[in-house]
Structures are given as structure tokens and as C-alpha cells.
Amino acid sequence: GAVVSQHPSRVICKSGTSVKIECRSLDFQATTMFWYRQFPKQSLMLMATSNEGSKATYEQGVEKDKFLINHASLTLSTLTVTSAHPEDSSFYICSADNGRGEQFFGPGTRLTVL
Amino acid sequence: AQSVTQLGSHVSVSEGALVLLRCNYSSSVPPYLFWYVQYPNQGLQLLLKYTSAATLVKGINGFEAEFKKSETSFHLTKPSAHMSDAAEYFCAVSRNSGGYQKVTFGTGTKLQVIP
């Protein structure tokens, strides 16, 4: 149980395009999901907290207009990187809270912007 | 405020030797502490967690960690390293924030196992 999936696992896009990444909790409902990014050889940095049915809470320094987060249902949150640039290339990982304070992490999405 | 410090970005051990990965935490409230493992190009897998029950926590794959409040430490150990243990390990601390657990990760320790 407690499986979180992400789609796609890898995406390559041209500079200036937008990319959507999905995060799904497969066997539990998650009122809260989290989005992290991880640069090569670095730790995970929390980008934003996503609550079902409400606006996401962004961490300091994260552009909310560039990283659009939608948490439309209790099992799905999406992160859209708008007008992507090479510096947005990173590993994006989501996690989902099962309501008991436990977070389960997705397998990550490798974004490469050319 | 909360933070974790992992001492040593790289640790090398021989196969069969003791694994010791160090983590010190800072937290204004009793913490929840975690160790995660990450294999290349993969997400995080929870090894073990401390949530104020037993101070010695046993996890998966033979790993364990001991919570020492006096030392503000939560070091990860395994008696005998296996080649498959080669990966990156992250220590993390969480606190309740607005009804959910906000997690802060350490910078990670890459474990190399030498045959």
C-alpha cells in the first residue's frame, strides 16, 4: 500500500514550452501533496505544498506563476512548469501525506529543457 | 525552525564492514526523524523513522538508527555492508505545520561499497 506514482518519468522539451507533471496517490487519499526539486548531487528542496481544493503554498523564492500547481482531487496533483528554460532542468519529486503525518514519495520526473 | 546536518558527503566502506552515516538535527520541538535511501534516477525510499517511541529504530535492509537526544543525533548504522547498499542516503526531520508534516532534508551522503 501507500504507492505514489509520477508521470512522466522523463521529459525533454524545448525552451519556452510548458510541461505538466502528474503525481497520483494510487491506494490512499491525500489531502496534502508536496513538490520538491533536486539539482544534481544536491538534496531535495521543497517547492510548494498542495492542498486539495485550495491554492498551493509556495516556499520562499519559488515563482508561483512559473510553477503552477493544481490539486484537483484527493489523488491527483499536477505541477506545470511554464515557459521552461534550461535552468529549470532538474529532478522533480512529489510526495503525498496519508492524513496520518506520513509522506510517501513518488519515483520522480527528470526534466531536461533544451 | 528545524534542520539536519549530515557529516560527510561521501562515505566508502568495504563490503562486509560496518556502515555508519552521521546525522545531527536541530529542532525546537520533539522531532520526527527519518532516513531515506535514493538510488540513481529514482525517488526516495523510507528506511526508517523515529516518532518518539523506542530510541533504537530498526528499518529495512538491516539498517537501524538510534535517537540520542543529549547529542541531538540520529546516526544510521548497518553491521555489514552489502554491494546493493551503494546509494545516496538522506536524513530528514519533520514538524507539524498547518496540520501536515513539513519535511526538511539533509544534504545527503553518498555511500560507496568497495568489493
Q: Which tens digits make up the pLDDT trace of B10-21? A: 999 999 999 999
Residues of chain B above pLDDT 70, percent = 98
CA-based nearest residue to A103, from A28, A20, A38, A47: A28
Q: Which of B103, B99, B78, B101 is nearest to B90 (CA)?
A: B103
Query: Is residue B10 within 8 angstroms of chain A, CB to CB?
Result: no
Mutate to test the interface with B, among A32, A44, A49 (most CBs of B within 10 A): A44
Q: Answer yes or no: do B106 and A43 touch at CB < 8 A.
A: yes
- CB of A49 within 8 Å of a chain B CB? The answer is yes
On whether any CB of chain B is under 8 Å from the CB of A44, the answer is yes
Q: Which cell numbers hold the place of B2? A: 528545524
Cell digits of residue B105: 532534508
Is residue B42 within 8 angstroms of chain A, CB to CB?
yes
The 10s digit of each residue's pLDDT in B82-101 is: 999 999 999 999 887 776 77
Chain A residue nearest residue B42, CA to CA: A107
Q: Which long-range contacts (CB under 8 A, 24 or more apart) does A8-12 make?
A: A8/A109, A9/A107, A9/A108, A9/A109, A9/A110, A10/A109, A10/A110, A10/A112, A11/A109, A11/A110, A11/A111, A11/A112, A12/A112, A12/A113, A12/A114
Query: What mean pLDDT value characterizes chain A?
Result: 92
A89 lies within 8 A of chain B by CB: no
B53: pLDDT strictly greater than 90: no
